[in-house]
Amino acid sequence: MEDDDLIPLSALQHYLYCPRQCALIHIEQLWAENRHTAEGRLLHERADQPQTEQRHGVRTATAMPLVNQVLGIVGIADVVEFHQVGEGECIYPVEYKRGRPKKHRADEVQLCAQGLCLEAMFGPPVSQGALFYGETRRRKAVPFDETLRALTLDVIQATRALLESRRTPSAEYQPRRCDACSLIELCQPHLLGRKSAVNAWLAKQLKE
């Protein structure tokens, strides 16, 4: 698969959080910063420096490039730990996130996609990883079970279809999701949502 056809791992997280957000970022190339994104950027600063270190039998790589050509995904892992187990290694990706664990599975899908890349690159199965949240300051272990793997593959397919369509979904205002989004002023879900509702009402009246 050509490099231009590879889907960034971040797009999977964006898609599952909000398909419109994914399209605004990855199709329309829009971006805006808010407190949440700034905190996330600061949290990633250490992990964003490529380096490798060995400590207590664990080799740790930061800012590690990842790719799975078969699935067509590409990205960078914040941290990948290689734990020595017998004569082999157990591979363990760790993704840094601001805030705390969320009810949706967007972060878990992004992490599982990293595991799928690592499996393609190194061969052995990657059974789990971890999400480190800045607010709780602790890791949340994430098993890469069949359910999460199936969801991740579905999201990869759906994200690819969205990006290939080159069409941005219409706005649908959901307060808990939209109010925390840094793109809310560019997206304008309040305005566009009302406009869509009015257009739908007019179309219904004309049809009747």
What are the two backbone dihedrals, phi and then psi, of residue 203, each rounded to the nearest 5 degrees?
Answer: -60, -40
The amino acid that residue 105 corresponds to is R
Give the separation between CA 169 and CA 120, rounded to whole angstroms. Answer: 32
Report pTM.
0.81
Give the separation between CA 208 and CA 206, rounded to whole angstroms. Answer: 5
Residue 66 tokens read as 């990842």
- For the chain, 208 residues long, give each residue's pLDDT as a single digit of tens: 666 789 999 999 999 999 999 999 999 988 765 555 455 555 555 556 778 899 888 999 999 999 999 999 999 999 999 998 877 789 999 999 888 888 889 999 999 999 999 999 999 999 999 999 988 889 999 999 999 999 999 999 999 999 999 999 988 888 888 888 888 887 887 765 444 444 444 455 556 5
Give the end-to-end CA distance of the chain in Å, rounded to a whole number.
Answer: 50
Give the separation between CA 147 and CA 168, rounded to whole angstroms. Answer: 28
Domain boundaries, the chain: 3-169
Which of 18, 24, 27 lies closest to 179 in space, CA to CA? Answer: 18
Which of 55, 73, 54, 77 lies closest to 65 in space, CA to CA? Answer: 77
| Annotation: CATH topology of 3-169 | Lambda Exonuclease; Chain A (3.90.320)
* C-alpha pair distances (Å), 99 with each of 31, 34, 52: 20, 14, 27
Give the separation between CA 45 and CA 37, rounded to whole angstroms. Answer: 13
In the Cβ-directed half-sphere of 82, how many Cα atoms lie within 13 Å?
A: 15
Q: Is 115 helix (H, G, I), strand (E, B) or coil?
A: helix
Q: Assign residue 188 a region: left if phi > 0, alpha if psi is -120 to 50, beta otherwise?
A: left
- The continuous run of DSSP H or E covering 41 comes out as helix 35-44
Give the separation between CA 112 and CA 125, rounded to whole angstroms. Answer: 12
68 burial (CB, 10 Å; 0-12 / 13-18 / 19+) is buried
